[in-house]
């Protein structure tokens, strides 16, 4: 299983962590990526498989104190953050001018 942290743009968001199987994770994140934006994920499809995967994933919330790492970040309603993750890899995050964030 791999852990996904969901970062939601809603004011009452709590940034939960969910467990995904290897297969579910691969549907959301192309090989080598660990940052995803829900609009891009759903546009890549396959929609039916993704919807089924998310139904399962949402049943597997992990309390943060019990999480053994975060393997992916999934953004909802935060497309303006795409510019910081052009490679969709967290460790390669950059400022709009291209300088590294870390």
Phi, psi of 32 (to 5 degrees): 90, -5
Write out pLDDT tens, residues 36-65.
999 999 999 999 999 999 999 999 999 999
Tens digits of pLDDT across the chain (102 residues): 999 999 999 999 999 999 999 999 999 999 999 999 999 999 999 999 999 999 999 999 999 999 999 999 999 999 999 999 999 999 999 999 999 998
What is the rounded CA–CA span in Å between residue 76 and residue 45? 16
List the beta bridge partners of residue 75. 7, 37
**How many domains, the chain?**
1
Does 72 map to a domain?
yes
Does 97 map to a domain?
no
Does 98 map to a domain?
no
Does 59 map to a domain?
yes
Does 86 map to a domain?
yes
- Both tokens of 5, joined, read 């942290």
């Amino acid at each position: 299983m791999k852990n996904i942290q969901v970062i939601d743009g809603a004011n009452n968001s709590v940034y939960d962590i969910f467990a995904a199987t290897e297969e579910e994770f691969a549907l959301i994140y192309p090989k080598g990526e660990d940052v995803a934006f829900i609009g891009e994920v759903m546009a890549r499809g396959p929609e039916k498989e993704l919807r089924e995967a998310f139904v399962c994933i949402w049943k597997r919330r992990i309390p943060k104190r019990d999480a053994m790492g975060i393997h992916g970040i999934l953004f909802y309603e935060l497309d303006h953050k795409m510019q910081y993750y052009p490679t969709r890899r967290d460790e390669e995050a950059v400022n709009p001018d291209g300088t590294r964030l870390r």
